[in-house]
Chains A and B, each alone.
Chain A
Amino acid sequence: MLAAASLWLASRSASVPPMKATAQWISLWLAAFFGAVMLVAFLIFPGFFPPMSPDWSAQHVADFYAHHATLIRASMVIFNLCGLMLVPFFMVIVYQMKRMATPTQVLAYCYLSAAVSGFTLFAIADLMWLIAAFRPLRDPQLVMLLNDLAWIIFTAPVGAIVAQNICLAIAVRLDARPVPVFPKWVGPFSLLIGAAIVPACCGAIFRSGPLAWNGLISFWLRIFAYGVYFVVMFVVLSKAIRREAAEA
C-alpha cells in the first residue's frame, strides 16, 4: 500500500497544474436540478403508482395508454430530456476515481463504459413507453408488445449498474491515499446497493410476485436503492471536490 502511494505521488508531481472545480460543481448541480425534475416525472407517471401489472390483458394495457396518454407522454418526455443530464454527475465519479491512488486508472474507464450501457438502456426503455403512448389505438397486441419492451428494458438489464458499483467498490478499496478520495465505507455501501439491484434481472421472467417488474424487489427496492445511491454519492462527491480544492 505504501509503495503504491509513493509511486502515485511521484507520478502526480509530473502532471499538469490542477483545474478549478467549476465544471465538477456544475455537473453536480445539473444532476440535482434534473434529478428533482425527474422525481416529479416519476410521481406523475400514471403507470408507477401502483406500477402497471405484467398480468394485464392486451386490451387493458391499450385502454390504460388511451386514458392516460397525456400524463404518460409528459412524464416520459421529461425522462427523455432530463435522464441524460445525470451523465456529467457520473463522469465526476469517473474523474474522482482517476484521482485515487489505485495501481492503475483502469477501473475509472470501466465505470465510464458501464455507465454508457446503463444510460443507453434507459433511453431505449423511455422511447418504448413514448411510442406505445403515441398511437394507443393501434392493435392492442402491439401496444402491449411496446409496453412489455419498455418495462423489461427498464427493469431487467441491471448488469451495467452492478458493474459500475463493483468497479467503484474495488477502486475505493485499493485507494492508497493517506486521506482517501472517497471514505472507505463507500466501497461496501456501493456493493450493498448493487446487491439490492441484482434481483431485478428476474423482472423479465415473472409475471407476478416480488420479482415481477411491478414487484416489491424488482420495482420498489431497485428504485429506492438507486435513489439512495444517488443522494449519498452526491454528498460524497461534494466532500471529495472540497477536499481536492483544499489540497490544490
Chain B
Amino acid sequence: MSEAAIADKRDLWFCWWVLPFFYSFFGLIFVLLTRVMPPPSPHKTDAQIATFFHSHTTTIQIGFAILMVVIGGSGILNGFVAYEMKRMSVNPAFAYTYIATLAVGAIPGCLMCAFSFLAATFRPDRNVHIIAMLYDVALLTFVGSLGCFATQYLVLGIAVLLDKNQIFPKWFAYVSFWNVITELLAAPVFVFKKGPFSWNGAISFWEGTVIFVIYLNCFILLLRKAVQSQGATEVVAD
C-alpha cells in the first residue's frame, strides 16, 4: 500500500468519478424524466402512444437533451475499464473487445432510443402511425440490443477468471456472466406484447434490471479498489 500511496493516479480517479455521475444522470434521465425505465407497455394503441408522448413531452425533451451531453461519459468509462483489463495477465484483445462492443452499444443500445423519442416529441402533430413506429424503434432498440452487451459481459467475466494479477475477485466473473443470461432472457421482447417476456415484463425487463443494478454497484466499488491497489512500479503494456 505504501507503493500505491506515492503513485500519481489523478487521471484514474477522474475516470472513476465519472462512474457515479454518469449513472446518477442515467437514472435521472431514463427513470424520472423520459419514462423509458420502467418501460411503458408495448400493448398500447397508436392513439394511446400519441397521448403518452403528449403528456411527457417536456420531460422527454429535457431528459434526452441532457443525455446528448452525458452519453459522452460512456466513452470515458469504456476506456477506464479497458485500462483495468489491460492490467490483467490476459491478452489485450479482451480489453479491445470491451471498448468495441460498448462503443457499438452506445448507439443502437442507448442513443437510438433517445433520437426516436425526441423525433416523436419534436412534431406532436405527426401522423400517429409514424409516432407509434418511433415508439417501437425506441423501446426495442433500448431493451433489445442484446449482443453488444452480452459480449462485453462475457469477455469481462472470462478475463477476470483468467487473470492472475487479481485485479478483480473471481466471484465478480459470475455476476458478469449472470448479465449474459439476462441478455438472453430479453430476446423474446421481439415477439411478445404482453406478459413476463414483453419489453416491460417481469423477466425481460425487471429481472435484468435488478441483476444489472447489483452488478453495477459491485463494479463501482471493485473499480475503486482496483485503482487503490495499483502500485507505483506496476508496468502496464501500451
Interface residues of A (CB under 8 A from B): 15-16, 19-24, 26-27, 30, 73, 76-77, 80-85, 87-88, 90-92, 94-95, 98, 105, 112, 115-116, 119-120, 123-124, 127, 130-131, 133-135, 138-139, 142, 145-146
Cβ-neighbour of B190 out of A15, A22, A30, A130 (below 8 A): A130
Interface residues of B (CB under 8 A from A): 89-94, 96-97, 99-101, 103-104, 107-109, 112, 129-130, 132-133, 136-137, 140-141, 144-148, 150-151, 154-155, 158-159, 162, 183-184, 187, 190-191, 235, 237-238
Q: How far is the CA of A98 from the CA of B91 in the complex (A)?
A: 12
Top 6 closest pairs, chain A to chain B, by CB: A84-B147, A23-B91, A91-B96, A91-B93, A84-B151, A123-B108
Q: Are A73 and B91 in contact (CB under 8 A)?
A: no
Cβ-neighbour of A133 out of B93, B132, B155, B190 (below 8 A): B190
Q: Are A19 and B89 in contact (CB under 8 A)?
A: yes
Cβ of A73: which chain B residues have Cβ within 8 Å of it?
190-191
Q: Are A91 and B100 in contact (CB under 8 A)?
A: yes
Q: How far is the CA of A1 from the CA of B235 in the complex (A)?
A: 29
Q: How far is the CA of A92 from the CA of B179 in the complex (A)?
A: 24
Q: How far is the CA of A123 from the CA of B106 in the complex (A)?
A: 11
Among residues of A, the one whose C-beta sits closest to the C-beta of B106 is A120
Cβ-neighbour of A135 out of B92, B99, B108, B136 (below 8 A): B136
Cβ-neighbour of A24 out of B93, B145, B154 (below 8 A): B93
A-B contact count (CB 8 A): 138
Q: Are B129 and A138 in contact (CB under 8 A)?
A: yes
Cβ of B145: which chain A residues have Cβ within 8 Å of it?
80, 123, 127
Q: Are B93 and A88 in contact (CB under 8 A)?
A: yes
Q: Are A127 and B133 in contact (CB under 8 A)?
A: no
Q: How far is the CA of A87 from the CA of B108 in the complex (A)?
A: 16
Cβ of A77: which chain B residues have Cβ within 8 Å of it?
146, 187, 190
Q: Are B147 and A23 in contact (CB under 8 A)?
A: no
User: Could you list 16 A-B pairs, sorted by A, with CB under 8 Å?
Assistant: A16-B237, A20-B89, A22-B162, A23-B162, A81-B187, A87-B151, A88-B151, A91-B96, A95-B93, A116-B103, A123-B108, A124-B108, A127-B144, A139-B129, A142-B129, A146-B133
Q: Are A138 and B100 in contact (CB under 8 A)?
A: no
Q: Which of B97, B155, B235 has the most CB of A within 10 A?
A: B97
Cβ-neighbour of A123 out of B90, B104, B130, B238 (below 8 A): B104
Q: How far is the CA of A80 from the CA of B133 in the complex (A)?
A: 20
Q: Which of B100, B132, B184 has the most CB of A within 10 A?
A: B100
